[in-house]
Amino acid sequence: MYVVSTMKPKRLNIRLSQKRYDKLRKYSDSKEKNMTQVIEDWIDRLPNVGE
């Protein structure tokens, strides 16, 4: 079941070393996803805390 959020998306700016940025870019390219999708997938795997 896919739920569409009515909340406005939030923006997150992070600083990464060039090495980590390149690693994320290469990984996302290999999965045919953009970097946001890769990070969102990782966040979705985190356990829910305090809910």
Model pLDDT, residue 7: 82
Rounded Cα–Cα distance for residues 9 and 36 (Å): 12
Query: What number is the average pLDDT over the span 40-47?
Result: 96
CA distances 14 to 4, 11, 19, 30, Å, are: 26, 10, 14, 22
> How big is the chain, counted in residues?
51
Query: What number is the average pLDDT over the span 16-21?
Result: 98
Is the pLDDT score of 35 beyond 80? yes
Model pLDDT, residue 23: 98
Model pLDDT, residue 4: 63
For the chain, the domains span 14-45
Query: What number is the average pLDDT over the span 15-40?
Result: 98
